[in-house]
Amino acid sequence: MTVSGFTFNAFSENTYLLHDASGACAVVDPGCYERREQQALQQYIKDHHLRVELLLNTHCHIDHVFGNQFVLDTWPGTPFLIHQADLPTLRAVPTYAPNYGFPLYNPAEPTGFLTPGEPLRFGETELEVRFAPGHAPGHVVFYHAPTQVVLGGDVLFRGSIGRTDLPGGDYDTLIQSIREQLLTLPDETTVYSGHGPATTVGAERVSNPFLR
């Protein structure tokens, strides 16, 4: 499985495409808000002859969901999956998006819900869904064991952790999620975060000040 990343919107959010040798791909946390960002995502998919088979949100804060409806409009019929506990988070975005300077936000509704522990498949790829609340009530991470990759959203960053002062956030819950859902992975596991550069489980285990 290959991970391709894009940094979009004023929050410098990382959007990821997961794709494999079959040409199938999953779009994770599309943060594309401006037309040029949408075009960049679309052009990459076209240039690499990819088929969009899944749309996934690790969680549903505003910066991670800007492009959901764009993906659904561009590739009709794509299943759109979130954890059910984050549905209120997703549905709250239209109430505050204009106040944050995003009046053109186009909301989308999920077509189904993720179940932690059940395999998630697209193309030749199988992902493990792990429930990791604390930053958001329904936050999940996606782990691909063969390549030792985890899509971690806003749970764990290089040298930091996700904020817990937003609605539904809780510091103790987040630390527990990190210890149980991320630090239990092999040290070599690459963590692709929702903001900033990638890191590894091992590096954060020994150097992250929040985990000592």
The whole-model pTM stands at 0.97
> Could you tell me which of 76, 62, 58 has the C-alpha nearest to residue 11?
62
d(CA 132, CA 59): 10
Residue 212 has a pLDDT of 84
Q: Is pLDDT at 152 greater than 90 in this prediction?
A: yes
> CATH 3.60.15.10: does it fit domain 2-211?
yes
pLDDT tens readout for residues 156-192: 999 999 999 999 999 999 999 999 999 999 999 999 9
Percent residues over pLDDT 90 in the chain:
100
What average pLDDT does the segment 19-41 reach? Answer: 98
Q: What is the sign of the dihedral through the CA atoms of 205, 155, 35 and 38? A: positive
What average pLDDT does the segment 185-207 reach? Answer: 98
> Could you tell me which of 84, 106, 91, 78 has the C-alpha nearest to residue 17?
78
Residue 133 has a pLDDT of 98
Number of H helices, E strands in the chain: 6, 14
